[in-house]
Chains A and B, each alone.
Chain A
């Protein structure tokens, strides 16, 4: 028999072997690029092949914060996140409560709500949202004409932010609903039944029992909502108002009020071919993300309820 010590050594060895594919990828495609991007943000060079490389220190950061385009993108991102994340949470919790009450058709309905997340973003933005919902004679136009027969609204141009928020709520609701559904399975049925026997209404039960027990899930979903907002790149570009040069969606200008920071960074880096400035902006985005997450963790203990079970 092997000794205890050598068994432990073998266990650690096996563990390292099993996670090594992930670990190699983590180092090469997460840790190293993160550091390289920090170095790149302090340099100026060509997008293709690192030519004309000069160190310029923190100039990109200073220029970025002085640039009105970046400030506008920061403001748009803040407004978008402040509306999208809470609205998304409410929709997800609502759907989860709805689906959870009808047990027989639960999986059918959760499949319906999950479907938008399965369709490639390009297809759902172009076909469903640009044409079907926000396009001329689309759903919004018809409803609007019902109330104001002679007015007309260019939804994608004038209400770009609203359309973007609605699109994101629609496309992320399914996964969030599943996570809340999972959380609801941990909410004790006895507790709710006892409250109901004591004469509590459905609304009271949700407010005083279900929601407090769901706060850990709400916490996780808040962070995932922030992460989703920090990945908003293709959506503002595809939903952008006018399609310009060459017909490629790359040259769509995001609608007014919907030029989110990630899309702005993409534009600066790859269309403007300024990877150094882009890297600096992307680090600003990353630091804001980290800051927001730390604030959430710090305030979490005030309102997140980890049960005593």
Chain B
């Protein structure tokens, strides 16, 4: 009985999820469908990966007892000092050589790094957790990963929400990178498509698509707005 349940569940899932996948497949043939798929792919993959990576790094910088960790943290902050254009020229040339232009892969790879602000926010947030929680778990024999996953992650929903929304806003509004890395793709992303149809007469813009494009980040921001004020104001910039 128990063994039979799993195939039935799988078939059931296929029946319900299958049409959705097929529908999305058709979306790629619609005029702006592929642009939408590209936009969503880069935004979601970067958001998820950068938040996860920043949570891990922020936890390590806040809680691990390693004396040289603050030296490494200076390197995290130092990447802020490098202007976008300095590293973007070689990256464009290299990604072009690797045939990764016109694909979402650059955003996946950048996502793995996280961003300095996200790492900083996680570090400040985790630094305020009481040490006893961790010590009790360590006596029980839990490793670092288990402590992180069982104790810290369930208690960090506000900061996860804030950093994820911040990552999403970063990618969603980043016009230049999208235009460069989808340069030779007629589908492009939503943002590059909207601006492509800009007519040469200066003052008539596609007002409605542009306004609609600003909606997702505004909605997400309104969801996490109170957490942003709290997390930034509470943690301060000390330490």
Contact = CB atoms under 8 A, between A and B. Distances in A.
Interface of A: 8, 11-12, 14-15, 17-19, 21-22, 24-26, 28-30, 32-34, 36-37, 40, 47-50, 106-107, 110-111, 114-115, 117-124, 126-127, 130-131, 135-136, 178-179, 181-183, 185-186, 216-217, 220, 224, 227, 230-231, 233-234, 242-244, 246-250, 262, 265-266, 269-270, 275, 278-279, 282-283, 285-286, 289-290, 293
A199 to B, nearest CB: 30
A-B interface, 3 closest residue pairs, ranked by CB to CB distance from nearest: A25-B113, A120-B173, A18-B60
A216 B230 CA distance: 21
A248 B195 contact: yes
A234 B113 contact: no
Given A12-B66, A123-B211, A182-B232, A231 B176 contact: no
A183 B97 contact: no
B40 interface: no
Contacts of A179: 232, 237
Nearest to A107: B229
Given A30-B87, A131-B203, A50 B93 contact: yes
A13 B60 CA distance: 11
Given A36-B90, A120-B213, A234-B175, A270 B60 contact: no
Nearest to B124: A182
B172 A120 contact: yes
Given A30-B87, A120-B213, A247-B199, A126 B64 contact: no
B229 A106 contact: yes
25 contacts: A15-B66, A21-B57, A25-B109, A25-B110, A25-B112, A29-B91, A29-B109, A33-B90, A33-B91, A36-B94, A47-B92, A47-B93, A50-B97, A111-B222, A126-B210, A179-B232, A183-B236, A185-B234, A186-B236, A233-B176, A244-B200, A248-B198, A269-B89, A282-B86, A285-B85
A130 B206 CA distance: 13
Contacts of B109: 25, 28-29
Chain A interface mostly helix, strand, loop or mixed? helix
B61 A19 contact: yes
Interface in B111-142: 112-114, 119
Contacts of A8: 65
Contact of A15 (B69, B76, B113, B201): B69
A264 to B, nearest CB: 10
A289 B81 contact: yes
Interface string B143-179: 1110010000000000000000000010011011001
Nearest to B196: A248
A115 B164 CA distance: 17
A34 B86 contact: yes
B86 A286 contact: yes
Contact of A24 (B65, B113, B218): B113
B118 to A, nearest CB: 10
B203 A14 contact: no
Contact of B226 (A30, A107, A265): A107
B210 A29 contact: no
Given A26-B75, A121-B175, A33 B87 contact: yes
A175 to B, nearest CB: 9
A118 B85 contact: no
B217 A119 contact: yes
A136 B203 contact: yes
A37 B84 CA distance: 12
Contacts of A117: 169
B11 interface: no
Contacts of B81: 227, 289-290, 293
Given A120-B172, A243-B200, A286 B83 contact: yes
Contacts of B213: 120, 122-123
Given A18-B57, A26-B113, A178-B232, A118 B94 contact: no
A18 B55 CA distance: 9
A10 to B, nearest CB: 8
B232 to A, nearest CB: 5
B238 interface: yes
Contacts of A48: 96
